[in-house]
Chains A and B, each alone.
Chain A
């Protein structure tokens, strides 16, 4: 791996995203709907779940090929590469070529999974994705890791906070952000059964397991943990577990807030969003991404045209990230359960 993408920081050695009370996994105690055994609730990075899911998929489907741009150890495609070297192509540090080559492989009936860091995959190769993958609706799965600010110590150059917006704006593109390891595995299986270009956004840091073991992901479908009468939080990715913490905190103060996991940012589950708006009249979106153009943008666009209610967006406020431990960065950029709680309380006060 090249120096400019060196994986620094302590986070990868076990420290996960901390919740509001400083416990790694506390959301499970408070909001887990099914009382998981401790062994099953160990936090796992979505990229690790991807590595396992990809290997399983490779065993089942011969047409699966995997491409990486010199980051297979970090994206976890190395697991697949080790077992299926003849179906793995390292393209080197050349993301534009990565995308084009994946496109070409798909034209011979292969199902390419092209992986690198989110900032390089969607930023460096955006126009290649537009011209070659989405314009022609090629069956290429763009699975990027190291999204968002929880890339942590590597800093702003490596923290993709624009990728959802960049992919969402492309016609024919499906955009999925799994919330945990369970959902990631489901997503990888589901996109293999779907013909067409898909962007999957994964993270580097370990995140709590929050989805039920028997959960079945469907492209375009939201998962409702709870529908609130006072407010509803529509969250994606790692912000789902943070939102569950916020829900519990609000409950103690007598505020009924719901949480909806929106793994598919495009196509958005319009019915779920409108239903949530009808139930509470206050919608809060939560994503580890810029407040511009991502889930918050998608929800606001839908509601303003169809069922206008107040929308507050939790996310990175049109600024770049910086270096630091992921839990401190989550605080610095206003992405904690406390931030959601405060946002909801203030909004309810004004209404």
Chain B
């Protein structure tokens, strides 16, 4: 759909993103803990992937030809669970079990427990290496599937990310498209205060990646970047998605304390009202 995305498609995706945000907030409030800010900031990117760009089949999660999605920033698990549930991988009612004993919806994604999760993540900095390995394996088999990997911006402080950045470039993994959810905040404060990241785009360019810098909440820009990435040959693509932490709920937006805090029932009520009204 995205190659010729119409205003109707964009409107559909915006509605889907809203539904995803609603599910994120509801499951987090029910769980009473979890990562709100970073789940909301990457919601538009994940929505564009799951409801437009990616080839996947919720009825056959291990379909060989599927595109792969690796959530390297595993703490945004509620976002992954929301897009999986709304895609039909499992019943939406399961979202209520997030973080509870016996639930396949662990605090951070666990591939052994939940079909649709490609690999367990949660310890930061590891997803890109895994995505590289998948991309290599697919190329060896002549499978044309693409690999998408979403990283946090604070996450790229992990040294392993740069090891993987070299590997993707060295092995010319053009079936790989990584996305940085650049919301500018990490647990201890603004990234620029904790450990400065900029210039992010130039760093990845210097590592041999094709880099696309976009507004990570502009659905048209997201789809455009994903299409552009698909056309790049001989090198991997990094989409630097400039986002707002807590996006969609005014009183969460840009607030560092909501990195790892779930909404209260009262906040949930207000947040849902706001999302509905902002249609």
Q: CB within 8 Å of B: which residues of A?
A: 65, 86-87, 89, 91-92, 94, 96-97, 99-110, 112, 127-128, 130-132, 135-137
Contact = CB atoms under 8 A, between A and B. Distances in A.
A21 to B, nearest CB: 48
Interface in B155-206: 159-160, 163-164, 166-167, 170-171
B25 interface: no
B119 interface: yes
B115 to A, nearest CB: 13
A27 B159 CA distance: 47
The majority secondary structure among interface residues of chain A is helix
Contacts of B141: 108-109
Contacts of B123: 127, 130-131
A263 B260 CA distance: 45
Given A104-B129, A104-B130, A128-B126, A96 B137 contact: no
B2 interface: no
B5 to A, nearest CB: 30
B120 A131 contact: yes
Contact of B129 (A103, A106, A135): A103
Contact of A97 (B110, B119, B134, B160): B160
B140 A86 contact: yes
A107 B118 contact: yes
Main secondary structure of the interface of B (DSSP, over half): helix
Interface of B: 68, 110-112, 118-123, 125-138, 140-141, 143, 159-160, 163-164, 166-167, 170-171
A193 B73 CA distance: 34
Contact of B120 (A92, A101, A132): A132
A200 B140 CA distance: 26
Max chain B C-beta neighbours (<10 A), residue from A92, A94, A97, A131 = A97
Nearest to B133: A104
Given A96-B163, A132-B120, A103 B138 contact: no
14 contacts: A65-B140, A96-B160, A97-B132, A97-B160, A103-B133, A104-B131, A105-B133, A105-B136, A106-B133, A107-B130, A108-B138, A110-B137, A135-B112, A136-B110
Nearest to B136: A105
Given A97-B129, A102-B133, A107 B119 contact: yes
A100 to B, nearest CB: 2
A137 B137 CA distance: 18
Nearest to B123: A131
B112 A137 contact: yes
Nearest to B118: A107
Q: Lowest 8 A-B CB distances belong to which pairs?
A: A104-B133, A100-B129, A108-B137, A97-B163, A94-B163, A101-B133, A104-B130, A105-B133
A176 to B, nearest CB: 23
Nearest to B122: A131
Q: Give the one of A91, A106, A130 with max B CB within 10 A.
A: A91
Contacts of A91: 163, 167
A107 B122 contact: no
A56 to B, nearest CB: 21
Contacts of A128: 126, 129, 160
Contacts of B167: 91-92, 94, 97, 101
A96 B129 contact: yes
B65 to A, nearest CB: 12
B134 A108 contact: yes
A130 B170 CA distance: 26
A92 B137 CA distance: 18
Identify which of B118, B130, B135, B164 gathers the most chain A CB atoms within 10 Å of its CB.
B130
A166 to B, nearest CB: 16
Nearest to A140: B133
Contacts of B140: 65, 86-87, 108, 110
